[in-house]
A and B are shown apart, each in its own frame.
Chain A
């Protein structure tokens, strides 16, 4: 029964989005070709403000864990790739992340600035929210502090609580569905490596797979609600296989 309600809500949300915003304003190199890369411009752009929120969610529980760092690192690459000066952009994004991660007093303000820019784009609001939720789920469960930050963001973006909780619950269900590879052989297989390979080779394979399958905020634009969830599940599987191998070799 729960499922039916959940699907009905998600379906309605979906329908609403597709009806109202059939035409996406997508992120692309073409769209950013005249962007002048500077800290000021980036800080005040959608993606810069989004990075600031990512920092706050990632650090909310007081710690940035290794998968969070892995995903945020790849996110820097994804975002900077569409700007005219990728290397410079990446350095500035790192600065923004670093400065923002310890500040919790301005979550509402930053979210509001982002919201003003994407007010007419429900799809973007959902993609950003979905990305932030998955980031909070990355270390297995959402801590109280992470939850608090997410709620402030959702409220400021004027998410209907029902819709927000539907997205959240659906993530939770999906994360719980991730099957940890039961045995070490499967873990090696999943990473495409051999038990005889050394840790350096395995780490490389792991990183390559994370890069390939992680939730990509740029690519997610224009894709359905399920995209970030599927990418999150795949990333979790890859990560669990890697963790299992590391543990086994201790």
Chain B
């Protein structure tokens, strides 16, 4: 009897799923709401010291001296580390592309404002901060470069001494006969776009407590760490340690969205711990540090895009040129964000050929890192603006223009030009649902009336693909090798029949512990209360990557159901022995093992588990008596990338269409979102309430991206965004009431047909809001090409358009 992970809800061993596919109370919530869940800053270890980090005020400078004597002499200070310690005990950070990493503390040069130059461990954070003021650093300022176009020129200041250029990567990827498509096109549309740098800003910053024993070299790190397994491997590489010397204990954390960051600060706390004989050293990043030099600043992009359209209005080719300003180094994997669009380059459309002219450039800004969506959201912003430009020029309705370019529902699985395969979809149905929900024709009629009154009202229709369940091969073009990302779970039934599931990731907000309980409850006929989820450290847990790349819901479903299947298989053998039959005669349904053709011969899971543990003497010797199993799930069928980067990478392709109505105040440029409707299809919804929660949150992050959020640097690369009064995240007043409808087209490739959905709406929202803004501006003959569409930017466009119009009138 082989194990077989159920491909849809009907294959679960239950007459009717009672929990999977429904919204249930989250098991995470009571601990979080009472404050009993332990975040890393709540942890106090014996003899613990506190770390504070001194950071460079210069974007680019030579360090000619660091004097730490006075700081070391301050009462309460245990140790000070500088670039010298970093060079002695660690390697430059691994990077993508390779060779663009630096040490965690600057050596003879600083490359951006906020780069660490020294750090203190002291009896309290206040003492450590006081000590920083006693450290004297001599800088010789160098000319900085903040503009990637300047940085690409040979006469530019050189950011990293170890390199000979600021261009990290310069390659053109061509998929199909792109030149032919553009030569034959009936229409070619071209446009430039700017997406300004923004970021994750989870409500909890990064924090850690590091203990590095200088004798055994065992390194233990408590932290608010999104991907503990990978974080541990990274530390092992940085400190040249065998990977099994590093143990990561991840704590519940206050959001991440990819942007938890923290590797530099963590490495610094490790160096300090080693210097103080292995005492625990706590580093809690403050918000100022996060904004200046933390994780998650992302997508500082300049685009030049061309779309070829044939005489029937079918898009026949796409060229995307991207100059991506990654900041000073490649340590934070910002490059991956430029590679990920390959997983859905042509969106939901049949565009047969495409080209990606990609330049990754270093400047004297904070290194870019990951943020929710990891790159495609700006890509879809530009693709969807191009679709609107084409539709408007051809006099077609934007919804119908998209529809005729959709991949038809009967053509899945569908391989796109950039190589990835989409599992399933029904894009026309998703569009129909949201058109009906929004009463689209009424929106258009209202727009006609508003325009007649001179009001700037616009309706945006935009859609995007959310690649789900990431695989490393998606990032092959920026030097990430290999395929396969494991996620494991151990399911254990105790002697009284209660289940414990051991996993390797911590609470982050998406509700996966609840999902685990739902799965085990339905599989074994339990109640979710009978299931407990326990998180283990990386040296004890089953292999785990954790959340990221819209994968964990699907991956943990595979892991848990796989483990349940293994237990069922083992128990069926036990039951066969006890009932003096063969395993193939044992059936399992609704938590009971029965013997085919023998009514009344049945055992519950609890009875079997109790028997296995209490009477292992009755079992055949080749049966492991523990009612426990571990399953490690990976996505099947992933392929290595070819030279042009083409691979089967992300396993699932979710789809959503958003319809947004906005009005722009022409005197101020302020945008009001008046309606927000969306339909989305992420396959089987394992917990519709948590999916909805991810969607709602992601829409509002997308609105922040479209209208508010921006990390501003001046032309000398000085960061100006230093507080939450500068980095404007949406409040409730910026969050529209959402009208949502779901379509469920199960994935044929995943456990239960679910698709990745955690990153979600941010793929579509900025595109949709910008489409609506540009629809509102269309009568003025102008359009917004820069994100965020801050009031002053829109106001300027409106003013200039009106000046042009009045000039033209004057000419008559």
Q: Report if A and B associate in a common complex.
A: no
The residues of A with any CB-CB pair to B shorter than 8 Å are none
The residues of B with any CB-CB pair to A shorter than 8 Å are none
